[in-house]
Amino acid sequence: MIKILSLSAVMLLLAACNTTQGPPTASNASSSKTSSANKESSGGMLSGLGTLAGAATSGGSGASSDENKLGAGLDVLKAATVSDTELKSVSLQMRARDDKKNAIAAGPKYAGRLAKLTAKHVNEDGMKLNFKVYQNQSINANASADGSIRFYSGLMDKMTDQELLAIVGHEIGHVKNGHSLSALRVAYLASAGRKAAASSSGAAGALADSDLGSIGEKLLNSQFSQSQETDSDDYGLAFMKKHGYTASAMESAFRKLAAMGSSQTGLDQMMSSHPDSAKRADRVHEKLAQK
């Protein structure tokens, strides 16, 4: 889905940046109240957009305050209207960057094991997915908007094959339900990477490493909402049943995560605390009992 701002919103944005006024004349005196109201509304909109983007309204570039406001507003406008396809290109670039910065596990213990478990899921529910393992003792797993799903070796050490499959299903749910894409859109809009959308090449062009890092930092610090986590839990449970796996493994995976506690590195990034893992396990247990 492509998010498009209305023409009226664009006009309000541009009007907010036009502060040039002449003296009142007979032709414009009657519209002064309307003009004032429009400026107040438009100014509020620009202020909100500028705050969201972290845009400066003055600087050392030599541009006037109004020009800077216009530039910042257009940056945000471009970023807000970036397409899903362009965002997935950004996601691919970010994942490639992460893969270079992390040690990719090889051999049968991690890479071989995950490849065997996910071989039939590289094309799942209309999505093209890819799976890798980071050689890292964090208890973590994540999925990005382009369909890349990464497990950490620390998590694999703690889980059985069926429990890992339950987590695979959960992570696929974040991709299928658009959660990963929505989180990326917010992170993109709030980062310096939005500048790329204002260029002629668009967001699909190659982003600078610093831009990717800025977006990645915003994304890392974000959390899925309770409803998003619940939706992905439900997707994961349906995934387990669909493929004839042990559905109760999702409950046992959550029980393990709850027992580990939040002291485990990476756990907070993997599983949102809203609700906590124990409550999620209880919910899965109740759903399984409703057969």
Tokens for 144?
A: 């990005």
Question: Would you state the pLDDT for residue 212?
Answer: 76
pLDDT of residue 66: 56
Residues 76 and 88 in one domain: no
What pLDDT was estimated at residue 79? 56
> In this structure, are 112 and 216 located in the same domain?
yes
**Is this model's pTM higher than 0.85 or not?**
no
Q: What is the pLDDT of residue 207?
A: 76
Please indicate, yes or no, whether residues 212 and 139 belong to a single structural domain of this protein.
yes
Same structural domain, 124 and 252: yes
Q: Annotated active-site positions, please?
A: 171
Same domain for 36 and 130, yes or no, is no
Beta strand pairing call for 148-152 and 130-134? parallel
pLDDT of 285 reads: 95
Listed residues 40, 61, 80: the one ending a domain: 80
Which DSSP letter does residue 275 get? S
Q: Is residue 37 part of a domain?
A: yes
Opening angle at CA 193, ends 210 and 176, nearest 5 = 110
Indicate if 73 and 165 belong to the same structural domain.
no
Residue 146 burial (CB < 10 Å; 0-12/13-18/19+)?
buried
Let me know if residue 95 belongs to a domain.
yes
- Same domain? For 75 and 89 the reply is no
- In this structure, the answer to whether residues 150 and 182 fall within a common structural domain is yes
Q: How many domains does the chain have?
A: 2
Residue 231 lies in a domain: yes
pLDDT score of 221: 64
Question: Quick one: pLDDT at residue 134?
Answer: 97
Same domain, 151 and 60: no
Query: 153 to each of 45, 139, 221, how far by Cα in Å?
Result: 46, 8, 21
119 lies in the same domain as 203: yes
102 shares a domain with 229: yes
What local confidence, expressed as pLDDT, does residue 83 receive? 87
Inside any domain, residue 1: no
Task: Kindly list the averaged pLDDT for each block of 10 residues, start to end, along the chain of length 291.
Answer: 38 40 46 44 34 34 51 53 87 93 96 98 97 95 95 97 98 96 86 50 64 73 83 97 98 93 49 69 94 67
Same domain, 159 and 69: no
In the listed set 45, 61, 80, which residue is the last one of a domain according to the structure? 80
Q: Answer whether 109's CB lies under 8 Å from 140's CB.
A: no
Per the structure, the complete domain to which residue 271 belongs is given by 84-289
Spatial CA neighbour of 250 closest among 272, 232, 227: 232
Q: Is residue 2 part of a domain?
A: no
Beta bridge partners of 134: 104, 152
Residue 20 dihedral angles phi and psi, to the nearest 5°? -75, 125
Instruction: Tell me if residue 35 falls in helix, strand or coil.
Output: helix
Residue 61 to residue 64: CA distance in whole angstroms: 9
